[in-house]
Every structure is written in structure tokens, then in C-alpha cells.
Amino acid sequence: MLQSTEFLRRPVPEAASWMLTRFTRLITGAQARWLGCAPVPVQRIYFGNHNSHADFALIWASLPIDLRRTTRPVAGADYWDASALKRYIIHEVLHGVVIERSRENSSVDPVDIMAAAVHGGDSLIIFPEGTRNTTDELLLPIKSGIFHLAQQCPQVDLVPVWMDNLGRLLPKGEIVPVPLLCSIAFGTPLRLQPGEEKEAFLARIRNALLATRAAARPEEA
């Protein structure tokens, strides 16, 4: 677990963290809407819809500082370990959990790596679609990883997060974001129920994301 005192010993990453938070809030104009829960200091797994590489930065920047210090984004090594700058941001600034998305490149199950971080006391930011959604559909099919993570961490709440316009802010393949008004909403937490089957749980995950979207857009109801 990343203790808050570690930040005091890391002045440069702490300053970079502050700048990243301010920049993300400025360029997105997003104000966090806590619709189904409050931003309280409890361990959670935040799961969101995934449209761009800016997604986890917005979720992370939307948390109060005491929550950011113990919340780690889960990121793919193929992208975030590809350059020195990206490695610095994900490892030193965000203290991310970097995983190999292809089992061919790793002998360790990514779910085990995420579960170890949770068992160490950290909260996580994950994207259960598994990859960025560049289609016209609201969501891609939900992958089974979140089910297996919930099995290993049944005591931790999973909080749905819905974001709009991030795909247009930082489209796939782009590295410079375009200022654009975005939105982010945090929904009602859920947990894996005893005896719940995988497909039923994945359906609940999908429905929780869509319900959070609907709650954030009452004018469309």
C-alpha cells in the first residue's frame, strides 16, 4: 500500500501529481458527481467505461487528495511502458498497477497482480471492457477479469463510474488532448453475491454502468 508519508519523501512526483490533477480538471472541465456514494476514505475498486487513455486520469483526478494517495490505476504495460515519460507518469506519479494484457508476455495472471494490490490496502481503477471502445455502442462486452477480481476481493465495494466525451478529448492514437467539456459520475457500489454466477455478475456490472449514465442524464429519461 502506498502510504501518504511516502509522498512527503517524493517531492518531484508529488509536484507532478498536483500538476496532472490540475491539468486534467482544467482541460476536461469536469466536476465529479457522486450520485450513488460519497467520496469517503474506504477501500474501493472503481470501474469505468473506457474510451481513451485519459479515462483513468480523470477518475483519479476527481478523487479527493486523501483518496488519490491510495488509489492506483491499472494500466497496460504495452502502452505505459513504451517510453520514459509514460513510465515515469504511471510508476512514479500515479503509482499504477502495470499489467501485461497478453498472457503470452507474462507467466503471472493479471488478476492476481490486481488482487495483491487490493490485499495490500490499495484501491484500484479498472476498465472491465478490457480495451478502449471506439465503436458507436455505449459499452463493449464486459470481460471476465472483474468477476475473478471480485471473487478474490469479496469484501471490497465496486463503484461504477461513467464518463462522457473522453474519447473526443483524447482519441485513440493521439497524444495531445483537445480541450473539451467532459463529465464524470460515480454510481451505487455493488459486490459479488454469494453463489452468483459469472454471467449474472457481468450483466450487473454492465447494468450498473448504464444506470450511472442514466442517473447522470435525467433529461434523457
CATH of the domain at 84: 3.40.1130.10
Instruction: Please answer whether residues 160 and 50 qualify as being in contact, where contact means their C-beta atoms are separated by less than 8 angstroms.
Output: no
Give me Rg for the CA atoms of the chain: 16
pLDDT score, position 198: 98
Quick one: cell of 179?
Answer: 480541450
Residue 77: inside a domain: yes
pLDDT score, position 7: 45
Query: Residue 101 belongs to what domain range?
Result: 4-216
- Cα 190 to Cα 13, 31, 56: the distances in Å are 33, 23, 20
Residue 122: inside a domain: yes
Dist CA 141 CA 134 (whole Å): 13
Its sign, for the CA torsion 211, 170, 115, 197, is positive
What one-character-per-residue DSSP string does the chain give? ---HHHHHT-HHHHHHHHHHHHHHHHHH---EEESSS---SS-EEEEE---STTHHHHHHHHS-HHHHTTEEEEEEHHHHTSSHHHHIIIIIIS--EEE-SSGGG-SS-HHHHHHHHHHTT-EEEE-TTSS---SSSS-PPPPTHHHHHHHH-TTSEEEEEEEESHHHHS-TT--SPPP---EEEE---B-PPTT--HHHHHHHHHHHHHHHHHHH-GGG-
pLDDT score, position 5: 46
Instruction: Please answer whether residues 22 and 101 qualify as being in contact, where contact means their C-beta atoms are separated by less than 8 angstroms.
Output: no
pLDDT score, position 8: 43
Quick one: cell of 77?
Answer: 504495460
Residue 114: inside a domain: yes
pLDDT score, position 170: 56
Residue 28's CB: how many other CB atoms inside 10 A?
25
Its sign, for the CA torsion 48, 51, 53, 58, is negative
Residue 103's CB: how many other CB atoms inside 10 A?
10
pLDDT score, position 54: 78
Residue 137: inside a domain: yes
Domain count, the chain: 1
pLDDT score, position 11: 58
Residue 221: inside a domain: no
User: What is the reported pTM?
Assistant: 0.86
Dist CA 87 CA 81 (whole Å): 5
pLDDT score, position 187: 98
Identify the segments of the chain with pLDDT beneath 50: 4-5, 7-9, 176
